[in-house]
Structure 1
Amino acid sequence: MTDLDPARLRYRVLTGPDDAAFCRRVSDALEEGYVLHGSPSITTRHGEVWVAQAVVLGPRALA
């Protein structure tokens, strides 16, 4: 068992418009020890492209 910070979820799904802010959120999660989980998902909503990416805490963050 690890002393994992309860505020840090082991699994997260990041969603939002396909823009620089979304890319920054994914990049920030990677810097925090998360790793990509699966492929991104892309759809349109009211003519705007939206994306989703699942991330999970990587082994270094769980150690």
Structure 2
Amino acid sequence: MKLYRFLTGPDDSAFCHKVSLALSKGWQLHGSPSLSFNAATGLMHCGQAVTKEVEGKAYDPDMKLGDQ
């Protein structure tokens, strides 16, 4: 089964650490990162899709994807 997550956050080192943690847990980058400007806060926000193949599990919408 393939799992999908879309990681988001402000364009800062915490976002980079979030993506790096996912990669260290076996998630793979999927597509290009995205950037958007939040005019209300004046900040750039990042997004990055990641996917992961897992075996022996059935999909459950209540599963915590970050724990996989």
TM-score where L is the length of structure 2: 0.70
Cα RMSD between the aligned structures?
1.8
Identity across aligned pairs (percent)?
A: 49
**What residue ranges of structure 1 are gaps of 5+ in the alignment?**
3-8
Q: How does 1:1-63 map to 2 (within 5 A)?
A: 10-46=3-39, 47-58=42-53, 62=54
**What residue ranges of structure 2 are gaps of 5+ in the alignment?**
56-68
**4+ runs deviating over 2 angstroms:** none
TM-score where L is the length of structure 1: 0.76
